[in-house]
């Protein structure tokens, strides 16, 4: 705790401008935050924590008591003065629906489990570091001198890695170089795909930089998560989103409910996207596909899904036909294996010589050599033939 | 608090598409004229639907990184940003003159100053010239040189040709290059015929595109005859039919573009102090972003 923090506390008590408190306490002024209550009681000061209660204090006595409870004071100072926005500020911001600062505040509180633990337990835990998972991010909060929080960010896979084995960054914008490509060097158009590279760490971030860094890795997830917590996440369901589209995407509202189901099943499950899907066909018709377990919600079909849906809309206009193919039972299974391996992105894992795998490259080449004609038609059956 | 939000198309396939937007945002962020500088995309994240949620400021200047007024600037961006009561007539534009309009974003209640696209701003002309300077390495380039401004053409958007013509005409009026010509990918005069369109031995070809991608990296180099196969690359300058062609790539990657973004915001009322000057100084003579 610094002297300035204590001065600020005294001032807040004098002004009745502590930032927060229950409605009935507010009239009395003072400070009411995370278990710390301080106000003027008649002529004297009052100082209360879950473990201490002192009343009728002179200012000098008040300062002395506060000084012997430095955690409560520095905690109050950090949240109301450095992060800004006590609860009252939050409520005001919330009613205006413009709540970037409240979202940041709430996220930082989440990072240290502030809802679940009191100040002493939290300070003890913060001394070691409190870690939480945000998608594939591991966010660690620690407490530095005078209650200042410092935050560290890594890939969850590196949670226990030695810092010297990681590339260390400090500027939030440097995260762009991490999120653009997956570990095989492929472009990641969907930031919440579970393909975040590991091997890096951001250290010693302040609250704002932490939020900025998370926003580069998983853009807009914090504000949407915050709105969800506040019970006012606005969800745009499939129908509404599809109807809004114009230009080349105008067609996507043609897809029927079953196809929308397939979209959610193919794109929005945890193996493909870490957002938790909150949208459905419309408000009444829930889709069966798994929503995912992600900590942050998905409030409407993303541009990737809408763009894919455009292709599917044109494909779904085609009628099925009956073709005749000659395949042995094993070859039919092999076709199924190949589709499955591609759909799951497993083709790279299949070993060169593992001909027991249907999707093995040599097996696929053998099948092609045997069953394709010179035009590449399966079983020699032309695609457009009658 | 005031924020700048640069909105751009972005791509699901090519990370180069958003790179210039990030670069220019970084340049502007560094001069500290705004409390926040953010980027939002049609095809990347944060999406246009959600970018305003990532902004804490009440006052937001939105500048579209697009070449022309049209479908994106008039329909898609205002709709996705939920600009309440938007009507394109608020820009009172003839297709080239959109400056800004002030609206409320119904999603966040922020006051949004929605600016015209960078491509139609008059200072974009300077960026095209700067591009010619950076690709030739000659700050005085002009004498003995022809300059071709290349656009997509009318197929996509009738205003796109207007923007190309507008800047070509302004460069012509500077009397700096021996010849200036607007060329198109999809209409006459075509970029394929570039060597027929110029008498000068040296011709700088600058595509008026925001980002390098398929068109500027693959189509145009092959159409112009710089190479038969873009994957093999091409020299700058390259000899084509007795001319030396200095192919510049997308103008949007030029560092000076940050200046156009700032000017757009300043004209919409952003308090940018001398940031415009600083940005101009910093981006002058620096190699183009990505070079
Ligand atoms: S729609 Fe949402 S859940 Fe589905 S892939 Fe896109 S971001 Fe993920």
Mean pLDDT for the stretch of residues A125-146: 97
- Other residues' Cβ atoms within 10 Å of the Cβ of residue A172: 20
Nearest to A36 by CA among A105, A94, A110, A123: A123
Half-sphere exposure of A159 (CA within 13 A, CB side): 14
CA distance from start to end of chain B? 35
Give pLDDT tens digits for A86-125. 545 555 555 555 678 899 999 999 999 999 999 999 999 9
Task: Note the pLDDT of residue A224.
Answer: 97
Q: What is the pLDDT of residue A13?
A: 92
For range B154-176, the mean pLDDT: 88
Q: CB B54 to CB A223 under 8 A?
A: yes
User: Within an 8 Å CB–CB cutoff, is residue B156 touching chain A?
Assistant: no
Predicted ipTM of the assembly: 0.93
Give one word for B241, left, alpha or beta, with left for phi > 0 and alpha for psi -120 to 50: left
Mark yes or no for CB contact B109/A98 under 8 Å: yes
**Helical H segments across A255-360, by residue range:** 257-267, 303-316, 329-343
Give the nearest ligand 1 atom to A267 CA. Answer: 5
Please state, in angstroms and rounded to a whole number, the distance separating the CA atoms of residues A86 and A94.
Answer: 12
Q: Residue A376's pLDDT is what? A: 93
Tell me which residue in A97, A100, A300 faces B56 most closely, judged by beta carbons.
A100
* Burial class of B118 by CB neighbour count within 10 A (0 to 12, 13 to 18, 19+): buried
Q: What does residue A333 show for φ and ψ, rounded to 5 degrees?
A: -60, -35
Give the HSE-up count for residue A86: Cα atoms under 13 Å, Cβ half-sphere.
19
Instruction: Return the higher-pLDDT residue of A264 and A21.
Output: A264
- The closest-lying atom of ligand 1 relative to the alpha carbon of residue A301 is 1
User: Could you tell me if A153 and A201 are in contact, meaning their C-beta atoms sit under 8 angstroms apart?
Assistant: yes
Mark which residues 172-211 of B lie under 8 Å from A by CB: none
Q: What is the pLDDT of residues B40-80, one digit of tens each?
A: 999 999 999 999 999 999 999 999 999 999 999 999 999 99
Q: Whose CA is nearest to atom 3 of ligand 1?
A: A268
pLDDT (average), residues A49-54: 94
For residue A100, give the nearest of B15, B43, B53 by CB distance.
B53
Confidence class for position B157, pLDDT limits 50, 70, 90: low
Q: What pLDDT is attached to residue A61?
A: 95
Å between B55 CA and nearest CA of chain A: 6
Interaxial angle between packed helices A100-111 and A221-229, expressed in degrees from 0 to 180 and rounded to the nearest 10: 80
Tell me, what's the pLDDT at A2? Answer: 87
Query: What's the pLDDT at A87?
Result: 46
Bridge partners (DSSP) of residue B50 are none
The helix/strand/coil state of B8 is: strand
| Smallest Cα distance from A102 to chain B, Å | 9
Q: How far is the CA of A192 from the centre of ligand 1 (A)?
A: 8
Nearest to A343 by CA among A269, A282, A274, A289: A269
Q: Is the pLDDT of residue B187 over 80?
A: yes
What band does A344 get if pLDDT is binned at 50, 70 and 90? very high
Looking at residue A100, its pLDDT comes to 84
Q: What is the pLDDT of residue B13?
A: 95
Cβ contacts below 8 Å, chain A against chain B, sum to 72
Q: What is the mean pLDDT of residues A231-255?
A: 96
Q: What is the pLDDT of residue A145?
A: 87
Q: What is the DSSP letter of A30?
A: S
- pLDDT above 60 for B230: yes
pLDDT at residue A78 above 80?
yes
With CB atoms and an 8 Å threshold, state whether B79 touches A220.
no
Which of B15, B49, B54 lies nearest to residue A187, judging by beta carbons? B15
**pLDDT at position A21:** 46
Round the average pLDDT of chain A to a whole number and report it: 92
Distance from the first to the final alpha carbon of chain A = 84
Contacts of B95 (CB under 8 A, 6+ apart): B68, B69, B158, B159, B162
B90-138 pLDDT, tens digit per residue, is: 999 999 999 999 999 999 999 999 999 999 999 999 999 999 999 999 9
Ligand 1 atom closest to Cα of residue A274: 8
CB pair distance less than 8 Å for A181 and B15? yes
Q: Does the beta-carbon distance from A303 to B44 stay under 8 Å?
A: yes
Cis upstream peptide for B178 (omega within 30°): no
**What per-residue confidence (pLDDT) applies to A23?**
42
Mutate which: B53, B58, B76, vs A, most A CBs within 10 A: B53
pLDDT band of A20, cuts 50, 70, 90: low
Q: Do B54 and A219 lie within an 8 Å CB cutoff?
A: yes
Strands A149-155 and A200-205: antiparallel
Q: How far is the CA of A244 from the centre of ligand 1 (A)?
A: 17
Beta-sheet strand order (sheet of A137-143):
A130-134, A137-143, A149-155, A200-205, A167-169
Q: Which of A301, A303, A309 to mutate to test the pocket of ligand 1 (most atoms within 8 A of CB)?
A: A301
Helix (H, G, I), strand (E, B) or coil at A124: helix
Beta-strand ranges (E) seen in B187-240 are 202-207, 238-240
Q: Pocket around ligand 1: residues whose beta carbon is below 6 Å from it?
A: A 192, 267-268, 273, 275, 277, 298, 301-302, 304-305
Q: Quote the distance between the C-alpha of residue A204 and its chain's center.
A: 20
- pLDDT grade for B289, boundaries at 50, 70 and 90: very low
CA closest to A173 among chain B residues: B26
Tell me the average pLDDT across B253-265.
97
Measured CA to CA, the distance from residue B194 to residue B111 in angstroms comes to 46
Give the E-state strand segments of chain A in sequence order.
31-33, 36-41, 44-49, 52-57, 130-134, 137-143, 149-155, 167-169, 200-205, 276-277, 297-298
- For all residues of chain B together, what is the average pLDDT? 94
Q: Is B48 left (phi over 0), alpha (psi -120 to 50) or beta?
A: alpha
Which residues in chain B have their CB less than 8 angstroms from residue A185's CB? none
Please determine, for residue B16, whether its predicted confidence score (pLDDT) is greater than 70.
Answer: yes
pLDDT at A253 exceeding the cut of 50: yes
Say how many C-beta atoms besides its own lie within 10 A of residue A333's C-beta: 12
């Amino acid at each position: 705790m610094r002297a300035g923090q204590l001065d600020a506390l005294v001032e807040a008590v004098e002004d009745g401008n502590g930032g927060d408190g229950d409605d009935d306490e507010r009239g009395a002024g003072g400070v009411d935050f995370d278990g710390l209550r301080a106000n003027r009681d008649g002529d004297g000061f009052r100082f209360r924590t879950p473990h201490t209660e002192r009343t009728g204090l002179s200012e000098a006595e008040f300062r002395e008591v506060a000084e012997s409870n430095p955690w409560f004071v520095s905690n109050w100072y950090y949240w109301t003065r450095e992060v800004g926005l006590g609860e009252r500020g939050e409520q005001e911001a919330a009613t205006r629906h413009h709540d970037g600062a409240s979202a940041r505040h709430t996220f930082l509180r989440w990072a240290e489990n502030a809802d679940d633990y009191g100040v002493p337990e939290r300070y003890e835990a913060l001394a070691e570091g409190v870690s939480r998972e945000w998608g594939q991010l591991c966010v660690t909060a620690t407490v530095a001198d005078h209650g200042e929080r410092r935050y560290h960010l890594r890939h969850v896979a590196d949670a226990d890695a030695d810092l010297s084995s990681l590339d260390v960054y400090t500027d939030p914008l440097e995260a762009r170089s991490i999120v653009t490509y997956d570990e095989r060097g492929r472009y990641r158009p969907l930031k919440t795909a579970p393909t975040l590279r590991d091997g890096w760490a951001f250290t010693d971030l302040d609250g704002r930089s932490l939020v900025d860094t998370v926003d580069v890795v998983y853009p807009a997830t914090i504000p949407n998560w915050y709105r969800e917590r506040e019970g006012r996440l606005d969800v745009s369901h499939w129908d509404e989103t599809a109807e809004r589209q114009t230009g080349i995407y105008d067609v996507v509202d043609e897809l029927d409910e079953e196809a929308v189901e397939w979209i959610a099943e193919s794109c929005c499950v945890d193996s493909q996207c870490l957002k938790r899907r909150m949208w459905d066909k419309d408000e009444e018709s829930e889709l069966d596909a798994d929503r995912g377990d992600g900590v942050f919600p998905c409030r409407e079909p993303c541009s990737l899904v809408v763009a894919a849906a455009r292709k599917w809309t044109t494909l779904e206009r085609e009628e099925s036909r009956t073709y005749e193919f000659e395949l042995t039972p094993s070859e039919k299974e092999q076709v199924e294996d190949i589709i499955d391996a591609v759909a799951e992105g497993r083709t790279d894992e299949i070993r060169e010589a593992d001909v027991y795998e249907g999707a093995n490259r040599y097996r696929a080449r053998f099948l092609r050599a045997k069953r394709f004609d010179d035009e590449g038609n399966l079983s020699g059956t032309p695609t457009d033939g009658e | 608090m005031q924020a700048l939000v640069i909105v751009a198309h972005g791509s699901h396939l090519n990370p180069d598409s958003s790179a210039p937007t990030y670069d220019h945002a970084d340049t502007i962020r560094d001069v500290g004229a705004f409390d926040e500088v953010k980027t939002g995309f049609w095809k990347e994240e944060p999406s246009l639907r959600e970018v305003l949620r990532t902004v804490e400021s009440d006052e937001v200047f939105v500048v579209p990184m697009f070449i022309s007024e049209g479908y994106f600037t008039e329909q898609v961006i205002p709709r996705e940003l939920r600009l309440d009561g938007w009507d394109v007539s608020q820009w009172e534009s003839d297709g080239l003159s959109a400056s800004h309009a002030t609206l409320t974003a119904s999603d966040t209640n922020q006051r949004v100053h929605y600016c015209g696209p960078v491509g139609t701003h008059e200072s974009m002309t300077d960026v095209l010239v700067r591009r010619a300077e950076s690709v030739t390495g000659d700050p005085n380039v002009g004498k003995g040189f022809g300059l071709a401004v290349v656009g997509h053409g009318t197929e996509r958007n009738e205003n796109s040709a207007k923007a190309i013509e507008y800047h070509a005409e302004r460069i012509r009026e500077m009397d700096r290059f021996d010849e200036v010509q607007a060329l198109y990918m999809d209409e006459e005069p075509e970029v394929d015929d570039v060597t027929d369109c110029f008498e000068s031995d040296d011709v700088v070809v600058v595509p008026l595109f925001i980002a390098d991608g398929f068109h500027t990296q693959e189509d145009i180099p092959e159409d112009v005859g710089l190479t038969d196969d873009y994957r093999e690359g091409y020299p700058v300058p390259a000899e084509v039919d007795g001319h030396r062609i200095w192919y510049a790539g997308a103008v949007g990657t030029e560092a000076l573009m940050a200046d156009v973004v700032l000017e757009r915001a300043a004209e919409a009322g952003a308090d940018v102090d001398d940031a415009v000057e600083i940005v101009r100084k910093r981006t002058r003579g620096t190699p183009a972003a990505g070079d």
